[in-house]
């Protein structure tokens, strides 16, 4: 698959790439060296906020009778679940707060309120996606295989339905990635042993059972006569969380500006090459602080891909410096409001549904 003809990777010399690597390393190192108590306080605050929201949502759903209070409870629960997924889980599991050496807020111990087990997800996301970002055929995040988003993906009649099942996928996204993360097809081509797959499946089944029991059996059960209402509130919170996460994930790498790469790109790729690939494959979303918080700062997808282990709330402050590097080397820096990016991705999905 040929690289986009105008890809800056064709134009930059090895010296350019080294210089870019040095500049970006310096940006990352400066933040890492500056981390301290205010940063620790930030993540503790977000965790406390998330737990407070979740507890109030559950209490609200439990004690109130009115329908509007139930809607409020569901909204709080949705917010709590989004924070758990994006603002906390995703970032903690990237090791962004490992420097605190707090065993409770550590990439090796964190577990989130989603069906994917932390272990499977860290492998497929932290390793595969962040190493092979936007390499067609290697980055398993790319369109999640089921969706055709690139002219070089061979067309098949099922893609005609992708606008439809694309929506369905968004609604059950958390379950889709849980199953997808285990990469069971890797057993067939020998990249994974059967026993490893089996133990991952077991861990998933255990976790999924607890997740399902909590939201769809136990909380409704303790709600007594309002069981159905609680169940619906929990279901809607889970579905909305899935849809939101799906949106943020798709907007980060699929808008039209985002470049994809052939596998050859990996051969002898320098650190600078890796940086530039991350840059070209990611898109930012414009917005204000609450919006960034709700995306887990994945609205700074570019900064996140350059520095996946740097505490996410520092991305806004380093963004201008990254942008300046891009300008100096005439590299694109893709960014846009959510609505526009959404239209761009939707257009792609519709376009590539057809041959």
Partner 1 sequence: MRRIAHRGWPQRRLLDVASLLTTPLAPDDFLGLVNPLWSNRQLAGRVVDVRQETSDSATIVIRPGAGWRGHRAGQHVTLGIAVDGVRHQRSYSLTSPPRGVDGHISIAVKAVRDGLVSTHLVRRTAPGSIVFLGQAAGGFVLPEPPPERLLFVTAGSGVTPVMGMLRTLARSGALHDAVLVHVDRQPSSVMFAGELRRHAGRRTLRLHEHHTAQDGRPSAAEILQRVPDWTERETWACGPSALLDDLQTRFDEAGVAARLRVERFHPAVAPGAHDAEGGTVTFTRSGVTVDVDGTTTLLAAGEAAGALLPSGCRAGICRTCVGSLRAGLVRDVRTGQVSGGAGDVIQTCVSVAAGAVAIDL
Contacts to partner 1 by CB under 8 A: 25, 29, 32-33, 35-41, 48, 51-52, 55, 58, 94-95, 98-104, 106-108, 111-113, 122-123, 126-127, 130-131, 207, 210-211, 213-214, 218-219, 222, 271, 274, 308-309
Residue closer to partner 1 (CB basis): 274 or 352 = 274
Residue closer to partner 1 (CB basis): 161 or 218 = 218
Least distance in Å: CB of 31 to partner 1? 11
Least distance in Å: CB of 229 to partner 1? 17
Q: In the 3-class helix/strand/coil scheme, how is the chain assigned residue by residue? A: CCCCCCCHHHHCCHHHHHHHHHHHHHHHHHHHHHCCHHHHHHHHHHHHHHHHHHHHHHHHHHHCCCHHHHHHHHHHHHHHHHHHHHHHHHHHHCCCCHHHCCCCCCCCCCCCCCCCCHHHHHHHHHHHHHHCCCECCCCCCHHHCCCCCCCCCCCCHHHHHHHHHHHHHHHCHHHHHHHHHCCCHHHHCCCCCHHHHHHHHHHHHHHHHHHHHHHHHHHHHHCHHHHHHHHHHHHHHHHHHHHHHHHHHHHHHCCCCCCCECHHHHCCCCHHHHHHHHHHHCCEEECCHHHHHHCCCHHHHHHHHHCCCCCHHHHHHHHHHHHHHHHHCCCCCCEEEHHHHHHHHHHHHHHCCCC
Residue closer to partner 1 (CB basis): 40 or 338 = 40
Residue closer to partner 1 (CB basis): 16 or 98 = 98
Rounded CA-CA distance 56/317 in Å is 32
CA angle 269, 272, 273 (to 5 degrees): 40
Least distance in Å: CB of 108 to partner 1? 6
Residue closer to partner 1 (CB basis): 117 or 153 = 117
How far apart, in Å, are the Cα atoms of 101 and each of 40, 44, 349?
Answer: 10, 13, 43
Least distance in Å: CB of 158 to partner 1? 32
Least distance in Å: CB of 193 to partner 1? 13
Least distance in Å: CB of 127 to partner 1? 4
Least distance in Å: CB of 323 to partner 1? 22
Q: Is the backbone of residue 150 left (phi > 0), alpha (psi -120 to 50) or beta?
A: beta
Rounded CA-CA distance 15/26 in Å is 17
Residue closer to partner 1 (CB basis): 274 or 333 = 274
Residue closer to partner 1 (CB basis): 109 or 161 = 109
Least distance in Å: CB of 85 to partner 1? 12
Residue closer to partner 1 (CB basis): 45 or 156 = 45
Least distance in Å: CB of 111 to partner 1? 4
Closest to 105 in 3D by CA, of 124, 89, 123? 89
Residue closer to partner 1 (CB basis): 47 or 349 = 47
């Amino acid at each position: 698959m040929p690289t986009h003809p105008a890809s800056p990777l064709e134009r930059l010399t090895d010296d350019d790439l080294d210089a870019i690597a040095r500049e970006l390393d310096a940006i990352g190192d400066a933040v890492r060296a500056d981390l301290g108590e205010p940063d620790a306080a930030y993540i503790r605050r977000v965790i406390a906020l998330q737990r407070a929201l979740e507890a109030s949502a559950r209490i609200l759903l439990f004690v109130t009778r009115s329908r509007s209070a139930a809607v409020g409870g569901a909204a709080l629960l949705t917010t709590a679940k989004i924070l758990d997924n994006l603002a906390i889980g995703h970032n903690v599991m990237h090791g962004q707060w490992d420097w605190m050496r707090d065993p409770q807020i550590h990439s090796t111990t964190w577990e989130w309120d989603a069906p994917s087990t932390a272990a499977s997800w860290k492998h497929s996301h932290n390793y595969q996606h962040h190493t092979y970002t936007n390499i067609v055929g290697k980055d398993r995040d790319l369109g999640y295989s089921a969706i055709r988003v690139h002219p070089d993906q061979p067309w098949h009649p099922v893609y005609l339905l992708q606008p439809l099942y694309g929506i369905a996928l968004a609604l059950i996204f958390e379950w889709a990635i849980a199953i997808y993360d285990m990469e069971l097809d890797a057993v067939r081509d020998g990249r994974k042993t059967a026993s490893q797959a089996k133990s991952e499946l077991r861990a998933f089944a255990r976790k999924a059972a607890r997740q399902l029991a909590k939201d769809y059996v136990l909380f409704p059960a303790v709600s007594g006569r309002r069981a159905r209402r609680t169940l619906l509130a929990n279901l809607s919170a889970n579905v909305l969380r899935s849809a939101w996460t799906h949106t943020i994930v798709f907007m980060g790498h699929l808008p039209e500006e985002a470049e994809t790469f052939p596998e050859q790109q990996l051969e002898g790729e320098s650190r600078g090459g890796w940086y530039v690939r991350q840059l070209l494959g990611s898109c930012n979303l414009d917005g204000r602080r609450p919006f960034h918080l709700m995306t887990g700062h994945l609205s700074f997808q570019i900064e996140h891909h350059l520095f996946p282990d740097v505490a996410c709330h520092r991305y806004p402050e380093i963004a201008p410096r990254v942008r300046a590097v891009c300008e100096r080397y005439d590299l694109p820096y893709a960014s846009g409001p959510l609505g526009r990016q959404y239209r761009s991705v939707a257009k792609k999905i519709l376009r590539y549904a057809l041959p």
